[in-house]
Amino acid sequence: MARYIFITGGVVSSLGKGLASAALGALLQARGYSVRLRKLDPYLNVDPGTMSPFEHGEVFVTDDGAETDLDLGHYERFTGVAARKTDSISSGRVYSNVLERERRGDYLGKTIQVIPHVTNEIKDFLKIGADEVDFMLCEIGGTVGDIEGLPFFEAIRQFGQDMPRGDCVYMHLTLLPFIAASGELKTKPTQHSVKELRSIGIAPDVLVCRSESPIPEKEREKLALFCNVRPDSVIAAMDLKSIYEAPLAYHHEGMDSAVLAAFGITDAPAPDLSKWEDVADRVYHPEGQVRVAVVGKYTQLEDAYKSIAEALTHGGMHNRVKVQAEWIDSEIFDREDAADRLQGYHAILVPGGFGERGTEGKIKAAAYAREHQIPYLGICLGMQMAVIEAARNLAGISNAGSEEFDHESAGQRRFEPVVYHLKEWLEGNRTIQRKADDDKGGTMRLGAYDATLAAGSQVAEIYGSTAISERHRHRYEVDMAYRDQLEAHGLRFSGVSPDGRLPEIVEFKGHPWYIGVQFHPELKSKPFAPHPLFADFVRAAVEQSRLV
């Protein structure tokens, strides 16, 4: 049976609970324990799948097709444990499940209430897979005191009472603001946050305090006294140059030791941190630098492309170079010439997205990379834009476009759709069918699907295999009816679904590195195991930098 660690936050949001949870999971693994990490989000959306990237950042997709919070990406990158549908739940999903049961009559006519029915639903979720790992780390989204988070806090309070004594530990992450005028770190916000937590029946065992500077011993003792934790359980979490330093920094501060001590575990093996020492060395001691232009639609918020940013970093670490990713709003090419803006970059990446806005700029970026022999990686919509660019400028289909954009034009057809809505695909032994006007939530091709790569292709060489599995999240697909026409002009369909019906990868013959993929390779990249496509993409950027 797993021991549980609940990670809560206070004072302000966005302090890094997800990173702290992931780093703690990595430290427990380094001591030989098995872990699984979970996220409980208080928002009422069933999942973040229909939320704007400006609202919530990227949507992280699991192998089994769940659309989840980006923190699950942190969990995977730091622990290497593949997330599952059962590792993410929201208030919307909880209430939806409860109401479905009420409609079926499962509650036998009882009055449905937050306590016990909603809290029981949350506790049932927490118990899933409890016999599979040594430690289950559960992060509660938002901050203590948020009205929508109260059922989750109540559920984890009850859960601690239900479990055997000593099997649950509560870790609280707060902020220690620095007041420049007085030159002091202020502990009062943290004291108030812990008071709020204790008022609902949860006493933190470990206190993690974000600060810009080390915590003086006097303030550490003050926090321990007023927050009722041991002094060695007050952990400083200072700002870091790289998130991949977090496991080493938190271990140095004693986080993993404090958590194990709270469980009464005194004979834990010493951690083997050699893997993280190597990661930190690669981050802080690069042997060169490359510039990569990321031409996207949501560049105002870097979290919208969080996994891509991290995968580029992993590719840089693999090649011992620093990747300077520069985020360019694709709409800028409505006003500027792409050649003027993209000159000097060693590689161009066009990520995914939804809707027509900014797509003409992405097409221009794809054209510039093709014409100037610059390494190009197109992901999801980025692949579709590369195909449309080739159809327009090489195959003579001047009005080539996507059905997605015509669909937005109230039935007015403006394009010949070389990209159309995905009507049918195989999921195991089942045939999945979709219509263009289906609900948006959860109706895409989601999760891991196999693909077959052409022998002798560039991607087969990169992967070292002709059989791969990658994660998808898309509603539109390149039409295979145009395959022969496009291949006649050099755009090779080098990866397809096992049944040959769906295109997965395109590449340009004669180009040093020009690849478009319908899936999202960034979701499987890790600092100690970079995704092959990103590792080779950065390698190609390094080669390009030597030519400039």
**380 is known as an active-site residue:** yes
- Pairing type for strands 206-211 and 184-185 reads unpaired
In DSSP terms, which residues pair with 503 in a beta bridge? 496
- 337 three-class SS: coil
In DSSP terms, which residues pair with 178 in a beta bridge? 185
SS (H, E, C) 404-449: HHHHCCCCCCCCEEEEEECCEEEECCEEEECCCCCCCCCCCEEEEE
Q: Give the residue ranges of DSSP H helices in 4-145.
A: 17-30, 53-56, 71-79, 91-104, 119-127
**209 is known as an active-site residue:** no
Catalytic residue (one of 56, 172, 472, 520): 520
- The Cα-based distances of 100 to 21, 217, 427, 441 in angstroms read 32, 53, 26, 18
∠445-451-455 over CA atoms, to 5°? 155
DSSP summary character for residue 118: I
Side chain identity at 516, as an amino acid letter? G
**511 is known as an active-site residue:** no
Token pair, residue 314, equals 């992993």
Catalytic residue (one of 138, 380, 407, 511): 380
User: Which stretch of DSSP H or E encloses residue 516?
Assistant: strand 514-517
Catalytic residue (one of 219, 310, 389, 522): 522
Contacts of 350 (CB under 8 A, 6+ apart): 294, 295, 296, 330, 362, 365, 366, 376, 377, 378, 379, 381, 382, 385, 386
**Looking at the annotation, which residues are catalytic?**
380, 520, 522
